[in-house]
Amino acid sequence: MRKSSQILSIILILLIISGVALGAYFYQKNLPLLWVFGIAIGFVFYRSGICFSTAFSDIVIFRNFRMFRTSLILLLVSFLGFNIVQLYSNISNGSIPGYIFPVGLHTAIGGILFGMGMVLAGACVCGTLQKLSEGFLLFWFVLSGVVIGSLLGAYHYPWWEVSYLSWEPVFLPNIFGWRVSWLLTVIILVGVFGGTFLLERRK
């Protein structure tokens, strides 16, 4: 890419960014903040080269857990922060925010399908958005696949929920209590983190 066209496209991108921010502000006051969050996430994503599908495929291909551990760091940081927010929210008004959804056979099938799909496509869904904007024409097809797949999935969901085992959402602190649940999660995450080093050494 030539230098002049590069600068031109950066200016264009910045113009679009501020235009959308302005439009979003008039639509709903808190959207521009979300927009900034998205831009920051995208920037960090590309710079650090994090890819969740590589995290799993590297383990199989050459028993390398580097990216897997990266995902664990992301998970652990999110967990520690989320836990404080949930606890605070629970004490102040009794509600528990977060992604707490039903679990059942459909979760397992969904996991397997998603895992196979992300290796076949070469990126998970946010990786698809990332590689699309890097200039990979291929990922436009992946994205259309995701749109079609999520329509099919939404259409079939009631069938899965009714025909196969599905339980109500399970919030772990309701079973183990806040402290034990916190401790268990941290022990498992840190344990897996440490365990990957052992698995790597025994090559």
Partner 1 sequence: MAKERLDVLGEVCPIPLLMTQGVLAKLKNIDVLIVETDSNQAARNIFNWCESCGFKFEIDDLENGIWEITIKKE
Partner 2 sequence: MKQGQGKTINKHVLIGPWPYWAGALILGLLNVLLFVIFKKPWGVTSGIAKWGFDLWEGLGGHPESWAYFREINSDILSSHIFFNQANILNMGLVFGVMLAVLLSSHFRIKRLKTRSQLISAIAGGIMMGYGARLAFGCNIGALIGGIASQSLHGWVFGVFLFIGASLGTLFVRYYVLKKRLP
Chain positions 89 to 148 lying near partner 1, rule: CB under 8 A, are: 119, 122-123, 131, 134-136, 138
In angstroms, what is the minimal distance from the CB of 202 to partner 2?
18
HEC-encoded secondary structure of 77-118: HHHHHHHHHHHHHHHHHCCCCCCCCCEEHHHHHHHHHHHHHH
Chain positions 159 to 198 lying near partner 2, rule: CB under 8 A, are: 160, 169-173, 181, 185
Residues in binding contact with partner 2, number by CB under 8 A? 124
Q: How far apart are CA 65 and CA 57, in angstroms?
A: 10
In angstroms, what is the minimal distance from the CB of 28 to partner 1?
34
Chain positions 73 to 132 lying near partner 2, rule: CB under 8 A, are: 73-83, 85-86, 89, 97-103, 106-122, 124-126, 128-130, 132
Supply the DSSP symbol for 167. Answer: E
The partner in contact with residue 190, picked from partner 2, partner 1, none with C-beta cut-offs of 5 to 8 angstroms by kind, is none
DSSP string, 13-70: HHHHHHHHHHHHHHH-TTHHHHHHHHHHHHHHHHHHT--HHHHHHHHHHH---HHHHH
In angstroms, what is the minimal distance from the CB of 39 to partner 1?
19
Chain positions 50 to 89 lying near partner 1, rule: CB under 8 A, are: 51, 53-54, 57-58, 61-62, 64, 66-67
Task: Evaluate whether 196 touches 68 at the Cβ level (below 8 Å).
Answer: yes
In angstroms, what is the minimal distance from the CB of 141 to partner 1?
12
Interface contacts to partner 1, rule CB under 8 A:
1, 46, 49, 51, 53-54, 57-58, 61-62, 64, 66-67, 119, 122-123, 131, 134-136, 138
